[in-house]
Structure 1
């Protein structure tokens, strides 16, 4: 398996800039998710790494060798598409063995990767006899079988029912880790990226905004756009004085210079107390119950609207409560803009 390195990778389609000077390092044996909204360039990035698109500028290195000048079949890269694209006339075993060169070792490797993806004994099944999730696992096994330097997964769970996705994500992550595979997962699903990847690269308008481990990405987003895209964010205007941000939610400790700022608070950080109203107050405007938690829309005393996520029973609509913030918050000032440039 090999490390993936992208250096100043750029790509245009006519006047549209799809990728702009992308730098990215993925260590050997790790999975990195490339996360972003539709049209941000993440699929173009995957296609450039695979060799399906040529670069306008930059370099791509895998396992210490430069590959951007090689044809796709010479890059030693496997791709798992959105829909497994199995050969319908071949058995599971023959689908997986398709890319294996040494006949004597085919059956052993086929059995090995089927064990890794949780489908032992499925060698003789035909694709139409498998569920959607099983087909995707066979597609993954086929990609893993020849020990490629890199595996690219192009939104491989998007065609599946929501009830299947979580289980399949965990199985795919476990299989790749057991095989010590280096992988890139392209997705627009934040939950998917945060739950399976060692690191997440967030893209917007053809550029990478932040690369970080999931916990750091969620708790310390580098700018407001990342904060809003990765999870839900409550942005509160503030005036910072001597390390304290004066906000409608109270005075909060921050690590930025004095002046105006916007404070990012996650909804689950907003605490409600309806037994003893004191400090900043709010009125319950709306309640949305989800079983495992409840979203509570609040109108603060100064008229600002925010959303809290709480466990257990919520206060009644119209009730006045006190509000406070638990945990660390992040402050943004003018020196932390969206990392992007206008296309020329």
Structure 2
């Protein structure tokens, strides 16, 4: 299913949570809305789902205007941040709800449960499941009806780091195998960069930039995108942006002092001050705090080229 948004706006009083968003999402794409809290990404997802009503603009699914249609008429499935499982129903009963009345319902549920490796949990209740198991059940419930559009609102935010890593791989794998168009909302730029075909970066209700992960990282359109994408974030110094990987320690004409060092597993993140300015750099060896270091910068992002938003 393709998705087209035409000047979509959603107001809460005088506040525009979504402000004139226009966008096209291709059929079969895994598309991520990325932005800080309050940027409008979840509201936009709820507008696509039909859980919120747009004040202006149109929402087009596969060429059909669904702006005024209820969620039940849109053939979409949604996974919520808190999974929204019914606590008084078993896993099996939760999974049967989307296909209630379908004579092949039980067979469909067992097939999806086996695929997501939760077939041994069907008789249990949500309260007895771990966070990772609940997340798989929520995914299974959304998939069992084979929707044409799959919507995910921060589905991994309640998981610890190791589970988040494995779960995002699972989501990407499921999306590739099913071919279902998927819109995914997150504030975690690492998560977005790992799974997205394309990313829309949002700020203050607007889309700031749309592109493949490599594009938004290497060619940010403005200072907000440049500082939001990447870890550690880009540092803006004297009207230019500098990423840590573009700073070479131990050589060059510039001189600085090591102010702090963070261990990152295969390397160190080094904070270097040059007068009143501070940059970050990666190093394979651990310098001492207070050391004087020479360094060079191999790439700059010019601030004046950024468009303000």
Q: Which interval holds the TM-score relative to the shorter structure?
A: over 0.9
The alpha-carbon deviation at position 45 of structure 1 amounts to: 0.7
Residues 278, 12 of structure 1: alpha-carbon distance in 2 compared, 3 angstrom cutoff: closer
The alpha-carbon deviation at position 11 of structure 1 amounts to: 1.1
Determine if contact 1:282/1:323 at 8 Å carries over to the other structure. Answer: yes
Aligned to 2:186: 187
SS in 2 for 1:98: helix
The runs of 5 or more residues in structure 2 that have no matched partner are none
Residue-by-residue CA offset, 1:258-294 (whole Å, 9 max, x unaligned) = xxxx332211221101xxx552222222222233332
Distance in 2 of aligned mates of 1:278 and 1:35: 37
Q: Does 1:97 align with 2:96?
A: yes
Aligned to 2:228: 229
Aligned to 1:272: 249
Aligned to 1:337: 307
Distance in 1 of aligned mates of 2:25 and 2:300: 29
Aligned to 1:281: 255
Q: Does 1:304 align with 2:303?
A: no
Aligned to 1:316: 288
Distance in 1 of aligned mates of 2:227 and 2:52: 31
Distance in 1 of aligned mates of 2:120 and 2:158: 25
Residue-by-residue CA offset, 1:105-125 (whole Å, 9 max, x unaligned) = 223321332233233443333
Residue-by-residue CA offset, 1:143-200 (whole Å, 9 max, x unaligned) = 1111212111111111122232111111122112211111111111111111111111
> In terms of mean alpha carbon deviation, does 179-188 or 200-209 score higher?
179-188
The runs of 5 or more residues in structure 1 that have no matched partner are 238-261, 340-344
Distance in 2 of aligned mates of 1:94 and 1:176: 24
Distance in 2 of aligned mates of 1:290 and 1:221: 25
Structure number with larger C-alpha Rg: 1
Determine if contact 2:252/2:296 at 8 Å carries over to the other structure. Answer: no
Distance in 1 of aligned mates of 2:252 and 2:46: 56
Aligned to 2:201: 202
Aligned to 1:41: 40
Determine if contact 2:10/2:54 at 8 Å carries over to the other structure. Answer: yes
Aligned to 2:213: 214
SS in 1 for 2:38: coil
SS in 1 for 2:98: coil
Superposition pairs of residues 10-89 of structure 1, within 5 angstroms: 10-89=9-88
SS in 1 for 2:289: coil
Determine if contact 1:5/1:23 at 8 Å carries over to the other structure. Answer: yes
Distance in 1 of aligned mates of 2:179 and 2:29: 8
Aligned to 1:253: none
Distance in 2 of aligned mates of 1:94 and 1:271: 58
Count of paired positions: 307
Residue-by-residue CA offset, 1:62-83 (whole Å, 9 max, x unaligned) = 1221111101211111111111
Q: Does 1:294 align with 2:268?
A: yes
Determine if contact 1:117/1:175 at 8 Å carries over to the other structure. Answer: no
Residue-by-residue CA offset, 1:124-157 (whole Å, 9 max, x unaligned) = 3332332111111111111111121211111111
